[in-house]
Amino acid sequence: MSNHPIILFDGICNLCNGAVQYVIKKDPSAKFKFSSLQSETGQKLLSDYQVETNNFNSFVLIQNGKVYFKSTAALKVARQLNGAMKLLYGFIIVPAFIRDSIYNVISNNRYKWFGKKEECMLPGPALETRFVK
């Protein structure tokens, strides 16, 4: 589908949509492509990589034929962005079960804390090329 790393995100989550906007801003070379987990493309990618297709609680990164989830995916993305955010990659030394327990608290409360949309975000013409079809 793409030679670019692909980020799959919860398309109705305000926090997730904000994270996508942040990545777009800090990725001026347009390395990353995006798709919502709920979209037809997102569902196909999950299926292609034999990942559960009805769980929208994880941030997913597909890069170089590998799939990363939750905090590992987020840290691998952060490492590739411009600016100080890449310093967060240092947390990769923390065992995944600890990082993911914090991730899970945020993920399980994201709608309550940040709200959600009724429908997935549709990219405008300026961002259309950043989304995988």
Instruction: Please give the full DSSP string across 83-113, using - where no structure is assigned.
Output: SGGGGGGGGGGS-HHHHHHHHHHHHHHHHHH
Please tell me whether residue 49 adopts helix, strand or coil conformation.
Answer: coil
The whole-number pLDDT of residue 2 equals 62
* Nearest alpha carbon to residue 34 among 26, 42, 44, 22: 42
The whole-number pLDDT of residue 131 equals 87
The whole-number pLDDT of residue 49 equals 92
Residues forming a β-bridge with 35: 8
Report the chain (133 residues): mean pLDDT per 10 consecutive residues: 86 91 93 93 93 85 96 96 93 96 95 85 74 83
Q: Tokens in use for 35?
A: 């798709």
